[in-house]
Amino acid sequence: MKKEFTAAEHEEIFGQMGPMIDPSLTIEGVGDAVAGVPERKTMPYQWFLVLGVATMLLGFLGLSITALLIKGTGLWGLKIPVAWGFAIVNFVWWIGIGHAGTLISAILFLFKQDWRTSINRFAEAMTLFAVACAGMFPLLHLGRPWVFYWLFPYPNTMAVWPQFRSPLVWDVFAVSTYLTISLLFWFTGLIPDLATMRDRSKSRIGKVLYGIFALGWRGSARHWHRYEVAYLLLAGLSTPLVVSVHSVVSLDFAVSVLPGWHTTIFPPYFVAGAIYSGFAMVITLVIPVRHIFGLKGLITPRHLDNMAKIMLATGLMVFYGYLTEAFFAWYSGNPYEMFMMQNRMGGPYAFQYWMLILCNGLVPQLLWFKRVRRHVIVLFCICIVVNIGMWLERYIIVVTSLHRDFLPSSWDMYAGTRWDWMLYLGTFGFFFFALMLFIRWVPMLPIFEVREIVHAGHEEHED
C-alpha cells in the first residue's frame, strides 16, 4: 500500500530533515529491497568491475607479502632514522577507518539515534574489513614476522612475557579486542536477518548455510528479548572501545620521546580523526552502493546529512588538534619541538603538510552548507579528499617527526618504494574483495531494524 504525500504534509511530518527512510516503504518492501540483493541471480556489472579490480589488487597483496617474507623489510623505504613508514601510516589509517562501525553501532544505538539503522550493518562490515587490513601491517612490518606471537602474553617454558610498558603491547590488546568485539557485534546483529534469509531462501544450499549461521533463530518473543539484551550489552562493551582503540594507537607515538610524537593531545585528537575518517569512508562507500542496488529509499539524504554533520564536528576537532600542536610547539620553547613544527611547515615535506591542512581542515568546511551535505556528488568528493587528508596526516606524523629528530647528523629523507605502494594497494584489494562478498551474500542493511522504523512510522502516522 503506497501513500502519496503532498509537499506540505511532507514538511509537516518530517520537518526540515526529510524522511529518515522513504515513507512509502512497507515492511514487505524493506525485506524485498534488502534481502533482494543477496537473492539476485546475478549482480550488476559494477559489482563485477569492483570485484575484478579488487582481485587484481589482492594479487598484489599476495605478491608483496611473499616478497617481503622472502627478502625482508628492506624492500620498503625504511631506514635509520625513519624506521617506521608506510606500514604504520597505513595501519593507523585503516584502524581509523574502522572506527565508524562501532561508533554507529554502539554509541548511536545507546543514544537511540534511529537513523543509524540504515547504515550500521554496512558500517560494521566495513569496520571488520578495515581492521583486518590494519591488522596485517603491524604484523608484516616486524623484522621477523614469524615470531609475532611473542607479543602475546602466553605461558611458555622460558617464562618470558611481553614488556608491558611498551605501547605496542597495548596495541595488541586494543586491536585484537576491537576486532573480536566488532565481529561479535556484527554477527549478533546479523542473526535475525540471517534467519530471514534462511526463510526466504529458495535454494537448498541457501537454506542450509543461512540456517547454520542463523543459529536456530525462530523469532520467538524469548529470542527477541535475549537478543535485545545481548545487543545492548555488546553496545555497552563496544562504546569504550571506540575511544580506547585509537587512544592506544596514538600512545604508540605519544609515549616516545620524539618531538612531534611526544604530545598529550594525541589520544583525543586521534579518536576524533578516526571517527572523521571512518565516516568519510562510510559515505564514500554508501553513496555508490545505494545508487547501484536501488537502496535510495532506505539510505536517504537524511542519513548522508547526519553523517556529514558528524564529519564536520570531528573534522573541526582534528583541525583544532593541528592548531594546538603548532601552538604548543611554539609555546613549549623547546628548540626540538619548534624545529619539528617549522620543518613540517617549511621543510621538505611542507607540500604534504599543507595538503593535509587543505584536505582535512579547509575543504570539509564546505559541510557547513546543507546543500553541500545533501549533494551526493560533492559530498562523495569531499569524503575522498578527507580520506586522502587523513592518510597524509598519519604520513606527516610518522615521517616528519622521524626524519629530522635530535641529532642532525642522522637526518635523512624517506619515501615509500614500489613495494610499499603495492602492499597498500593490496590491502585495498582485500578490503573491496571482502566487501563485495559481503554485499553478495549478506543483507547489507538490518532488515528487522529498518522494519521497526517502518512499523513505528506507520503507527505514528496512523495514530
Partner 1 sequence: MKHEPKNPASPAKRPAVDRPLVIEAVKPGQRVEASPDVQSAFAEMRKQSADLAAVRERLARDHGPRFWRSLDELADDESFREMVKTEFPQMAASTDSLDRRSFLKLMGASMAMMGLTACTKQPEELIVPYVTPPEDLVPGKPMQFATIASLSGFAQGVLATSHMGRPTKIEGNPDHPSSLGATDGWMQASILDLYDPDRSQAVIDRGRVSTWERATTAITRAMNDVGLMEGEGLSILTETVTSPTLAAMLEELLETYPKAKWHQYDPVSRDGVYAGAQLAFNRKVDTVYRFDRADVVLSLDSDFLGSGPGHVRYARDFASRRKLDDEGADLNRLYVVESGFTLTGTNADHRLPVRSQDIESFTRALARELGLATLASDTSRVTDSLAPFFNALVEDLQAHRGRCLVVAGEHQPAEVHALVHVINALLQNVGTTLDYIEPVPARPGDQMDSIRELTEDMEAGKIRFLFMLGGNPVYNAPADLRFAEQLELVPLRLHLGTHVDETSFLSHWHITMTHELEAWGDGRAFDGTASICQPLIEPLYQAKSAIEVVAAMLGRSDRSGLDLVRDYWLERLPDGNPETEWRRALHNGVIGGTAFAPLGRLPISFRLLPRDAVPVGEAVGPRWASATSTWDDLEIVLRPDASMWDGRFANNGWLQETPRPVTRVCWGNVIEVSPSDAERMSLDNEDVVEISSGDFFVAGPVWVSPGQARGSITVTLGYGRQRAGKVGDGVGFDAYRLLSTQEPAILSAGRLIKTGRKEDIANVQKHQSMENRALIRAATLDTFRHHPDFAQHMEHEPPESLTMYKPPFDYSVGNQWGMVINLNACIGCNACMVACQAENTIPVVGKKEVMNGREMHWIRVDRYYEGNPDTPTAVHQPVPCMHCENAPCETVCPVGATVHSHDGLNQMVYNRCVGTRYCSNNCPYKVRRFNFFQYHDRETLTLKMQRNPHVTVRPRGVMEKCTYCIQRISVARIEAKLKGRLVEEGEVVTACQQACPTRAISFGDINDPDSEVARLRNSPLNYGLLADLNTRPRTTYLAKVTNPNPALAGGHGHEEGHGHGGHG
Q: Judging by beta carbons within 10 Å of its beta carbon (0-12, 13-18, 19+), is residue 425 exposed, middle or buried?
A: middle
* Contact with partner 1 (CB under 8 A) among 17, 56, 212, 413: 413
- List, in sequence order, the alpha helices (H) in 86-166: 86-97, 99-102, 108-110, 117-140
* C-alpha cell recorded at residue 128: 571488520
Question: Are residues 85 and 403 in contact, defined by beta-carbon separation less than 8 angstroms?
Answer: no
> Contact 13/23 with Cβ under 8 angstroms?
yes
Binding mask 151-180 for partner 1 (x = CB under 8 A): x--------xxxx-xxxxx--x--------
Question: In whole angstroms, how close is the CB of 354 to partner 1 at the nearest point?
Answer: 23
Considering only residues 82 to 141 of the shown chain, the ones binding partner 1 according to CB under 8 A are 82-84, 138, 141
| DSSP symbol at 21 | S
Cα-to-chain-centroid distance, residue 327: 30
Q: How far is the CB of 182 from partner 1 (least distance, A)?
A: 23
CB of 247 to partner 1, least distance (A): 17
CB of 394 to partner 1, least distance (A): 15
Mark the segment that binds partner 1 (CB under 8 A) among 148-156, 218-226, 350-358, 441-449: 148-156
Q: Which of these segments, 81-89, 176-184, 216-224, 432-440, binds partner 1 (CB under 8 A)? A: 81-89
Which of 74, 236, 294, 346 touches partner 1 by CB under 8 A? Answer: 74
User: Residue 306 Cβ, how far from partner 1 at the closest point, in Å?
Assistant: 39
Q: Which stretch in 144-152, 201-209, 318-326, 425-433 sits in contact with partner 1 by CB under 8 A?
A: 144-152
* Cβ proximity to partner 1, 105 vs 263, nearer residue: 263
**What is the pattern of x (binds partner 1, CB under 8 A) and - over residues 318-347?**
---------------x-xx--x--------
- CB under 8 Å to 23, separation ≥6 — which residues? 3, 5, 13, 14, 457, 461
**Residue pair 47/289 in contact by the 8 Å Cβ criterion:** no
How many residues touch partner 1 under the rule CB under 8 A: the total is 51
162: which 3 cell numbers?
Answer: 611481553
**Measured from the CB atom, is 6 or 335 closer to partner 1?**
335
Find the binder of partner 1 among 14, 173, 213, 411 (CB under 8 A).
411
For residue 149, what is its C-alpha cell? 606471537
Alpha helices, DSSP H, located in 98-220 = 99-102, 108-110, 117-140, 167-200, 204-213
Q: How far apart are the first and last CA of the chain?
A: 17
Nearest to 189 by CA among 282, 285, 125, 132: 125
User: Using CB under 8 A, which of 7, 202, 408, 463 touches partner 1?
Assistant: 408
- d(C-alpha 34, C-alpha 436), whole Å: 15
Contact pick of 24, 73, 188, 365 for partner 1 (by CB under 8 A): 73
Task: Write the burial class of residue 21 (CB in 10 Å: 0-12 exposed, 13-18 middle, 19+ buried).
Answer: buried
The answer to whether the CB of 99 falls within 8 A of the CB of 242 is yes
Site string for partner 1, 420-459 (x = CB under 8 A): ----------------------------------------
Residues at the interface with partner 1 (CB under 8 A): 71-74, 77-84, 138, 141-144, 147-148, 150-151, 160-163, 165-169, 172, 252, 255-258, 333, 335-336, 339, 402, 404-413
